[in-house]
């Protein structure tokens, strides 16, 4: 069974604006799928619909065989845990009033029943759990007591990633996660995502207008234009044709 099946997904904002036009895609567990397209091609609409933040007009979405958005309360909760998101703008995604350790633990506080596999010992303090997550994304433990304004753009994006992976999601949706970062920092973040994907076998849906970032990270790439898939290819096939 595919992890995610999207069938003929259609979404219009007004009669003239068709954001997604019978968009279909199947995704297996693991690996990274890239969605590239210029501004206005429907990428963010797709991300918002997958997160349940936006409704759609036609088509269907199945996640692990379950209709999205799930109707039963328990299924909806499982889905909210299992699908996490990293946004472009880490600054506005992090509460400026909270220290980093509290920010990182927000998802785990909302899902107290989840016991992540990376916590090997019982009775760890909450700060120790946050420190562990910081280490997983390549930040030093001392960052737990800092506030967002004391971090660089790249460091804030690492914190967003730490928070997103804390519930060990099957699917991580990244919407332009490197777009507001310096070029050198962009590649550090891409390398981190690649490492985390390989270590955990989560699926990454990587949305970007930057073809370099997508070809670096993803093995399968879909090109979106005005809500329609105009091309799709596997990186391994890219240089075979000639
Ligand atoms: P992308 O993320 O690729 O830039 P979007 O999904 O944001 O594309 O937008 C797809 C299309 O839908 C664009 O034509 C955009 O103007 C339109 N659109 C997006 N969000 C809204 C909205 N809330 N209301 C009206 N039109 C919207
Ligand atoms: P980037 O190129 O990643 O955006 P910056 O030039 O913003 O990096 O930051 C470089 C270093 O300065 C980082 O290690 C960061 O931790 C530190 N730093 C940035 N802002 C602050 C701050 N307000 N307080 C303490 N350290 C900071």
> Which positions ≥6 away from 129 have C-beta within 8 Å?
105, 108, 119
| Residue 177 near ligand 2, beta carbon < 6 Å | no
Q: Are 223 and 215 in contact (CB under 8 A)?
A: no
pTM: 0.88
Per-residue pLDDT for 240 more than 80? no
Nearest CA to ligand 2 atom 6: 152
Percent of the chain with pLDDT over 90: 86
User: What is the structure's pLDDT at 198?
Assistant: 94
Per-residue pLDDT for 241 more than 80? no
What is the rounded CA–CA span in Å between residue 66 and residue 33?
20
Beta bridge partners of residue 174, listed in sequence order: 86, 206
| Residue 152 near ligand 2, beta carbon < 6 Å | yes
| Residue 223 near ligand 1, beta carbon < 6 Å | no
| Residue 19 near ligand 1, beta carbon < 6 Å | yes
User: What is the structure's pLDDT at 68?
Assistant: 94
The neighbour count for residue 115, using CB atoms within 10 Å, is: 10
pLDDT per position as a tens digit, 136-148: 999 999 999 999 9
| Residue 153 near ligand 2, beta carbon < 6 Å | yes
Q: Are 178 and 189 in contact (CB under 8 A)?
A: yes
Nearest CA to ligand 1 atom 25: 13
Nearest CA to ligand 2 atom 11: 152
Both tokens of 222, joined, read 């879909």
| Residue 88 near ligand 1, beta carbon < 6 Å | no
Percent of the chain with pLDDT over 70: 99
Q: What ligand 1 atom has the least distance to the C-alpha of 46? A: 6
User: What is the structure's pLDDT at 187?
Assistant: 95
The neighbour count for residue 12, using CB atoms within 10 Å, is: 16
ipTM value of the model? 0.67
Ligand number nearest to the C-alpha of 176: 1
pLDDT per position as a tens digit, 60-103: 999 999 999 999 999 999 999 999 999 988 888 899 999 999 99
Mean pLDDT of the chain, nearest integer = 94
pLDDT band at 180 (very low <50, low <70, confident <90, very high): confident
Ligand number nearest to the C-alpha of 139: 2
Q: What ligand 2 atom has the least distance to the C-alpha of 182? A: 2
pLDDT per position as a tens digit, 4-49: 999 999 999 987 899 999 999 999 999 999 999 999 999 999 999 9
The residue whose CB lies within 8 Å of the most ligand 1 atoms, and thus the one to mutate among 10, 12, 17, 226, is 17
């Amino acid at each position: 069974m595919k992890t995610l099946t999207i069938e003929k997904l259609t979404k219009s904002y007004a009669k003239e604006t068709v954001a997604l036009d019978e968009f279909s895609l199947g995704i297996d567990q693991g690996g990274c799928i890239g969605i590239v397209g210029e501004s206005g091609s429907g990428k963010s609409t797709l991300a918002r619909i997958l997160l349940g933040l936006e409704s759609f007009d036609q088509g269907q979405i199945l996640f692990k065989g379950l209709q999205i958005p799930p109707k039963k309360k328990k299924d909806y909760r499982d889905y909210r845990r299992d699908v996490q998101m990293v946004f472009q703008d880490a600054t506005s995604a992090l509460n400026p009033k909270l220290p980093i350790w509290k920010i990182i633990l927000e998802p785990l506080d909302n899902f107290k029943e989840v016991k992540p596999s990376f916590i090997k010992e019982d009775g760890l303090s909450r700060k120790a759990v946050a420190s562990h997550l910081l280490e997983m994304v390549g930040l030093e433990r001392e960052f737990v007591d800092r506030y967002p304004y004391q971090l660089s753009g790249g460091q804030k994006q690492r914190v967003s990633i730490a928070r997103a992976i804390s519930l060990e999601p099957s699917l991580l949706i990244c919407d332009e996660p490197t777009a507001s970062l310096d070029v050198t920092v962009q590649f550090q973040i891409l390398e981190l995502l690649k490492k985390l994907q390989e270590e955990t076998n989560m699926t990454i849906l990587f949305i970007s207008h930057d073809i370099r970032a997508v070809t670096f990270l993803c093995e399968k790439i879909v090109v979106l234009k005005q809500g329609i898939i105009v091309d799709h290819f596997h990186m391994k096939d890219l240089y075979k044709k000639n």
